[in-house]
Amino acid sequence: MTERPGSLHATALSRTYAGVRALEGVTITVRRHEVIGLIGPNGAGKSTLVNLLSGFDFPTSGSVMLEGFDITTWSAHRRVRSGLVRTFQHGHAFPGLTARENIEVAALGTGAARGVAARRATELLELMGLADHSNAEAATLPHGDERLLGVARALATMPKFVLLDEPAAGLNEDEISAFADIIKLVRDERNAGILLIEHNVPLVLGVCDRIHVLDQGETLAEGSPTEIRNHPAVADAYLGATAG
Amino acid sequence: MRYVQYFIDAVALGSLYSLVALGIGLIFGVMRLINLAQGELLMVGGYTLFATNGWSVFVRVPLVLLVIVGLALLMERAFRRLRSAAPATMLVMTFAVSFLLRSIAQKRWSAQGKSMNIFSGLSHAFTVGQLRIRYVTLVSIAVGGVLLLGVNLFLNRTDIGLQMRAVASDRRIAQALGVRTNRVVVTAFALSGVLATAALLLFVPQRPTVTPDFGLQIAIVALIGVVVGGMDRLAPATFGGFSIGFANSMVFSLLPTGQRVFLDSVLYGLVIIVLLLRPQGLFQRERQTTRV
Amino acid sequence: MLVLLAGGLSTVFSQSVQLKFHNAFVITAMVVCVYVSSGNSGVISFGHVSFVAIGAFAAGLFSMKAQQKGAVFNDLFPFIKDNHLGNLATLILAAALGGLYALVVGIALVRLNGLSAGIATFAVLGITRNVLRNWTKVGPGAKSIPGVEETTGLTQALMALILCIVVAYIYQRSAAGRRLRATREDAIAAQGVGIRIYRERLIAFTLSGAMAGFVGAVYVHFLGSVSTDQVYLDLTFLVLAMLVVGGVDSLWGATLGGLSISFINTLLSEGEKGLSLFRQKFTLPTSSSGIILAALMAIVLLTRPKGLANGREFGLRGFRRRDSI
Ligand SMILES: Nc1ncnc2c1ncn2[C@@H]1O[C@H](COP(=O)(O)OP(=O)(O)OP(=O)(O)O)[C@@H](O)[C@H]1O
Ligand SMILES: [Mg+2]
C-alpha cells in the first residue's frame, strides 16, 4: 500500500464476529491537522473501526499504518506511546481516582515525569472546563463530564492522532459549542489528526474537514461536509431522520 | 496391561475429585464464592464416622449425610452477608471458617489421625487376568457417574434447577425476573453437601484416617482442578476436578519410584503450563474477549 | 508510632512475651510485601511465601558454620556447604535471591488474572516447598535447619518492618506505582493511556519478591531454626487473611491488619500458657487460640467487608479518607 507519512491509514479493514460482519473492507485516512467525522446509524461499525485502529481488537483482514509503520498487530499501549490514542464510548474513567489523578496517570503512562504530569493535568482540566471537579472522584461525575474527562485523559498522552468515540453525548447545546472549539484548538494548536464519532449532525457538519459515512459495516460515502449533506444515500440512511 | 491398571486407578481417583469439584463449582456458580471450607464438610463427616465406628451403616450413612448437609447450610448462613463483597473478602471468609472448624477439630480430637472404617468390604480386590481391581474403584466410578448424571438432570429438568442456571448466568437479572435467589443458593449448598458425603464415603477406603487437615488437602486439589478446568461453567469445572485426580494418580504411577517424592512438583508444573496456555480454562470453548 | 507502640508494650508485658511480639513485626512486614504486589495490582498471589521461604533457607543455610553443615546436611552443593556469611550479608543475599526468583516466576505468571493467577502462584508455592523438602542438594530435606544465629531482636524486627513500609510507600507514590494502581482501577482504560500492564506488574512482583526474601531472612534470624512446614500453607493463609482483614487496597490497611492480628495471635497463644497482664494472671484453655482468632477474623469480615482501614491511607498529614494513587 502507498505509504503516507504523517497520517493514520487503514486499508480494506474487515472484522467478523462469529460469522457476523461488523466491518467490511473499510479504507480510511486521517491526516494530521485534520478532523474526520465518522457517522452512521447504530451498529454501523463505528466503534469497531476505532477498536481496530487503536489495538483493542484486531482485524480479520486488512491493515493499519501509522506514519509509514505497519501497526496492524501492535498492542494498544504501544500505539498510545507512538502517538495514537482513543477515548471510549462507555466511560472507562478510573473510577476511584479523582479527575486530576485520571489525567496525571495518563501522562505518567506515556513516560512523563510527575511534575510534568501535574502541570499537564492543570492545563487540561482548565481547557475542558473541569477545573471545579478536579478533586471529585471520577465515579461521581455526571456522564457528560466523564466523557470530557476521557478526552482530557487522551490529550494528556500528547497524541498525534486522537480517536473520539461519541465524546459529546450527554452535553447540552452550550457545552457542545464549547466542545467544538476545543476540537478545533486541538487540531490547530497541537497539530493533531482527529477522528470524531458523533451523532449530533450540526456539530459534525460544523467542525469536520471531511466526513466518512458507515452503514452496516461498509463505507457508504466520503467527502466534505457539503458533499455529505447533499448525498442522497446518506440522507436516506442517516441524515434524513435527524437533519430533516 | 500395566497401563490399563494405571488408567483404571486414575479414573477412580478422578471420579472422587470430580464430585468435590462439582460441589465447589455449584456454589461458585450461584454466588461467585470459592469455598475453601468445602473440605471441612468431609472432615466433619469423617469425625462423625469415627465417633460412630461400630454402629449400623443404616444409621451411620444417613447421620453423616445429615451432619454434612446441616453444616453446609450453616456455612451458607455465614457467607450470606458477603454476597456482594469483593472476591478476596469472600475467599478469606471461607478460609476463616475453614480455620475455625479445623481449630475446633484439633481441640476436640487433637492432630492425631483417627480411623473411620465403613464399608470395609470395598477395599477388597478381585483380579481379571493381570488386573487387580478393588471394589471401591468400580463403586467410585459408578457412583461418580450416577451423581454427575443426577445433578445434570436436576439442573436441566427441574424448576429449581432451571432457576439455579439462571442465577449462575446472571444473578441480578435472575433476581429482577423474580427468581428467589435465597432458595436457589440454599439448594446449591445442600446439594454440595450431598456430593461431599458421597465423596467422603468413597475416600474412606483409600484414606481411612481423619485428621483436622483431612479435608483441606482434598479441597485444595479439587479447587485447583476447578480453576484449571474452567470455573465459569459446571461441566468444565467438574472435568477439571476429574483431570486433576486422574493426573495425580497417573503421574504417580508413571514416575520412577525414586522420583515419586517430586509428584507435587510435576503436577503443579502441569497446572502452571495449562493455566498459561488456556487461562480461561482447559475445557472452556473459546476465550472470552472483553468487549470494549 | 511503631516505636511508641513498642515502648508501650514493654511496660505492659513481661520480658518473655515481649520477645514474641518481635514475631508480630516480622509477620506484618510479610503482609506489607504481599501488599506491594497484590494490593497495588489487584491480582491475588498465594505464592509470596515461596520468596519468604527462599530467603529464610538461604539465610539459614549460609549463617550455619561450615563444619556444622557438613555434619547435618552432607548432600548440599559444596558452595553452600563450605561458605558462611554474617547477619547483614545473609539479609542482602536473601533479598537478591527472592527478587531473582520472583522475576523468573513473574515473567511467566504476571500475565494471568484473577483466579488463574491465584492458582498459578499457589502452584509455585507447592513446587518451592516440594523441591526444598526433597532435593537435599539445595535444602535441608525433611529436617529443619538448626542453630541459626538469632540476630533478630526488637531492633532488627522493627527496622525491617519500617524499611518495608517505607519502600512500599515510596513505590506506591512513584510514577510506576501510580501506573500499576491505575491498571487495578480499570485495565482497559490503563492500556488506553499507554500503560504496559505486564511490565508494571512485573516490576511490583519483583520488588515485592526481593522484600519477601529479605523478610524471610529476618524471620529465620528470629526463629533460630526453620523447616519447610513453617513457610508453607498456614503462613500463606495467615498473611493473606491479615491483608484482607486490614484492607487490601491501602498500605495502612496492610500494616493495621498485620499488626492487629499478629498481636492478638501472640497474646492468645501466650494466653494458653498463662499470661500476666497488668499483674493479673490469665490462662486460656489449650488450643483455643485458633478458634478465637478465626472467629474474630470472621466477625471483622462480616462487619467491615472492606477491611479495618476501609480504604484509608497513610499520608504525610495524617490519614486520608480516600485511597488514592
Ligand atoms: N466483541 C463483539 N462481539 C460480537 N459482536 C460485536 C462485537 N463488537 C461489535 N459487535 C457487533 O458489530 C456491530 C457493529 O458494532 P459497533 O459497536 O461497531 O457499532 P457502532 O456503529 O459503534 O454503534 P453505536 O452507534 O451504537 O455505538 C454490531 O452489530 C455489534 O453487535
Ligand atoms: Mg459505538
CB contact at 8 A, A109 and C179: yes
Cell of B59: 444409621
pLDDT in tens, A16-59: 998 889 999 999 999 999 999 999 988 899 999 999 999 999 99
- The DSSP output letter for B122 is G
pLDDT in tens, B12-71: 899 999 999 999 999 998 888 999 999 999 999 999 999 998 888 899 999 999 999 999
pLDDT in tens, B111-124: 899 998 888 777 78
Which runs of consecutive H residues, i.e. helices, occur in chain B?
2-31, 38-51, 57-80, 87-109, 135-157, 159-169, 171-176, 181-203, 214-229, 234-254, 263-277
Which runs of consecutive H residues, i.e. helices, occur in B204-233?
214-229
The CA-based angle A13-A16-A18, given to 5 degrees, is: 170
CB contact at 8 A, C312 and C254: no
A116: helix, strand or coil: helix
d(CA B197, CA B19): 10
Among B106, B100, B60, B78, smallest CA distance to B200 is for B60
pLDDT in tens, C100-156: 999 999 999 999 998 899 999 999 999 999 999 988 778 788 888 887 888 888 888
Question: What pLDDT shows up at residue C323?
Answer: 47
Question: What pLDDT shows up at residue C280?
Answer: 67
Cell 499537564, located at residue: A120
Average pLDDT over all residues of chain C: 86
CB atoms within 10 A of CB A13: 24
Question: What pLDDT shows up at residue C16?
Answer: 60
B289 touches chain A (CB under 8 A): yes
In a domain, C299, yes or no: no
Q: Is the CB of A198 under 6 A from ligand 1?
A: no
User: CATH assignment of B2-113+131-277, given 3.30.310, 1.20.272, 1.25.40, 1.10.3470?
Assistant: 1.10.3470
Among B139, B128, B155, smallest CA distance to B235 is for B155
C44: helix, strand or coil: coil
pLDDT in tens, A117-159: 999 999 999 999 999 999 999 999 988 889 999 999 999 999 9
* Residue C52: strand pairing partners: none
Domain spans in chain B, listed from the N-terminal domain onward: 2-113+131-277
- Chain A residue numbers touching C40 (CB-CB < 8 A): none
Question: Cβ contact (<8 Å) for C116 and B279?
Answer: yes
List Cα–Cα distances, A205 to A44, A140, A209, A235, in angstroms. Answer: 19, 32, 8, 13
Domains and CATH numbers, chain A: 7-83+159-243 (3.40.50.300), 97-158 (no CATH)
Question: What pLDDT shows up at residue A244?
Answer: 38
d(CA C162, CA C229): 27
d(CA C125, CA C232): 7
Residues in contact with B268: Cβ distance below 8 Å, sequence separation at least 6, in sequence order:
C123, C124, C126, C127, C130
Domain count, chain C: 1
d(CA B100, CA B40): 10
Summarize the confidence of residues A179-188 as an average pLDDT.
Answer: 92
C-alpha dihedral over C234, C237, C242, C244, to 10 degrees?
A: -170
Summarize the confidence of residues B168-188 as an average pLDDT.
Answer: 87
B78: helix, strand or coil: helix
Instruction: Render each residue's pLDDT in chain C as its tens digit; 325 residues.
Output: 666 666 666 666 666 666 677 889 999 999 999 999 999 999 999 999 999 999 999 999 888 887 777 777 777 777 777 778 888 888 999 999 999 999 999 999 999 998 899 999 999 999 999 999 988 778 788 888 887 888 888 888 999 999 999 999 999 999 999 999 999 999 999 999 999 999 999 999 999 999 999 999 999 999 888 898 899 988 999 999 999 999 998 999 999 999 999 988 888 888 777 766 666 666 777 777 888 888 888 888 888 888 888 778 776 444 555 545 4
**Model confidence at A214: pLDDT above 70:** yes
Q: What element of type H or E holds A163?
A: strand A161-165
SS (H, E, C) C186-255: CHHHHHHCCCCHHHHHHHHHHHHHHHHHHHHHHHHHHHCCECHHHHCHHHHHHHHHHHHHHCCCCHHHHH
pLDDT in tens, A75-118: 999 999 999 999 999 878 999 899 999 999 999 988 888 899 99
Q: Kindly indicate the confidence band of residue A4, based on its pLDDT and cuts at 50, 70 and 90.
A: very low
- Note which residues in 82-101 of chain A have CB less than 8 A from chain B: 88
Average pLDDT over all residues of chain B: 89
Question: What pLDDT shows up at residue C7?
Answer: 63
What is the sign, positive or negative, of the torsion defined by CA atoms of C99, C104, C105, C108? positive
Phi, psi of B194 (to 5 degrees): -60, -45
- The DSSP output letter for C145 is B
Summarize the confidence of residues B285-292 as an average pLDDT.
Answer: 64
Among B218, B279, B223, B232, smallest CA distance to B91 is for B223
Question: What pLDDT shows up at residue A12?
Answer: 93
A21: helix, strand or coil: strand
Q: How far is C8 from chain B (nearest CA, A)?
A: 30
Q: Kindly indicate the confidence band of residue B288, based on its pLDDT and cuts at 50, 70 and 90.
A: low
pTM: 0.90
d(CA C127, CA C235): 16
- Note which residues in 220-279 of chain B have CB less than 8 A from chain C: 220, 223-224, 227-228, 231, 261-265, 267-269, 271-272, 275-276, 279
Question: What pLDDT shows up at residue C4?
Answer: 66
Question: What pLDDT shows up at residue B289?
Answer: 59
Cell 453437601, located at residue: B193
Q: How far is B93 from chain A (nearest CA, A)?
A: 25
**Model confidence at A1: pLDDT above 50:** no
Instruction: Extract long-range pairs of B264-269: CB within 8 Å, 24+ residues apart.
Output: B264/C126, B264/C127, B264/C129, B264/C130, B265/C126, B265/C127, B265/C130, B265/C131, B267/C126, B268/C123, B268/C124, B268/C126, B268/C127, B268/C130, B269/C123, B269/C127
CB atoms within 10 A of CB B87: 14
Average pLDDT over all residues of chain A: 89
- Note which residues in 54-93 of chain B have CB less than 8 A from chain C: 78, 81-82, 85-89, 91-93
- Chain B residue numbers touching A47 (CB-CB < 8 A): 292
Query: For residue C66, what are the domain limits?
Result: 14-236
Pick the more confident residue, C197 or B136.
Answer: C197
Q: Which ipTM did the prediction report?
A: 0.89
List Cα–Cα distances, A87 to B56, B190, B254, in angstroms. Answer: 70, 47, 55
Among A96, A73, A242, A89, smallest CA distance to A167 is for A89
- Chain B residue numbers touching C295 (CB-CB < 8 A): 96, 100
For the CA of A214, the nearest ligand = 1
